[in-house]
Amino acid sequence: MAKALTNTEFNFKGQKSVYHGKVRDVYTVGDDKLVMVATDRISAFDVVLPKGIPFKGQMLNQIAAKFLDATTDICPNWKLATPDPMVTVGVMCEGFPVEMIVRGYLCGSAWRAYKSGVREICGVKLPEGMRENQKFPEPIITPTTKAEIGEHDADISKEEILAQGLATPEEYALLEKYTLALFERGTEIAAKRGLILVDTKYEFGKHNGTIYLMDEIHTPDSSRYFYSEGYEEKFEKGEPQKQLSKEFVREWLMENGFQGKEGQQVPEMTDEIVESISNRYIELYENITGEKFEKEECDDINARIEQNVKNYLG
User: Is residue 151 scored above 80 in pLDDT?
Assistant: no
User: Is residue 267 scored above 80 in pLDDT?
Assistant: yes
What is the reported pLDDT for 100? 98
Q: What is the pLDDT averaged over residues 248-254?
A: 89
Q: What is the pLDDT averaged over residues 28-56?
A: 95
- From 158, 151, 143, 149, select the one nearest 110 (Cα to Cα): 143
What does residue 119 show for φ and ψ, rounded to 5 degrees?
-125, 10
What is the reported pLDDT for 12? 96
What separation, in Å, do the N-terminal and C-terminal C-alpha atoms of the chain show? 34
Q: How far apart are CA 251 and CA 246, in angstroms?
A: 9
Least confident of 68-72, 180-184, 287-291: 287-291
Sequence-distant (≥ 6) Cβ neighbours of residue 172 within 8 angstroms: 158, 161, 162
DSSP state at residue 241: P
Q: What is the pLDDT averaged over residues 253-280?
A: 93
Type and span of the H or E element at 159: helix 158-163
What is the reported pLDDT for 247? 77
Question: What is the average pLDDT score of the chain?
Answer: 94
User: Is residue 148 scored above 70 in pLDDT?
Assistant: no
Domains of the chain with CATH codes: 15-93+271-313 (3.30.200.20), 95-245 (3.30.470.20)
User: Is residue 54 scored above 70 in pLDDT?
Assistant: yes
The β-bridge relationship of strands 195-207 and 94-95 is: antiparallel
What is the reported pLDDT for 147? 66
What is the reported pLDDT for 152? 65
What is the reported pLDDT for 145? 94
Residue ranges of alpha helices (H) inside 193-246 are 231-237
pLDDT digits (tens, 9 = 90+) for 194-232: 999 999 999 999 999 999 999 999 998 889 999 999 999
User: Is residue 302 scored above 70 in pLDDT?
Assistant: yes
Write the burial class of residue 155 (CB in 10 Å: 0-12 exposed, 13-18 middle, 19+ buried): middle
User: Is residue 150 scored above 60 in pLDDT?
Assistant: no
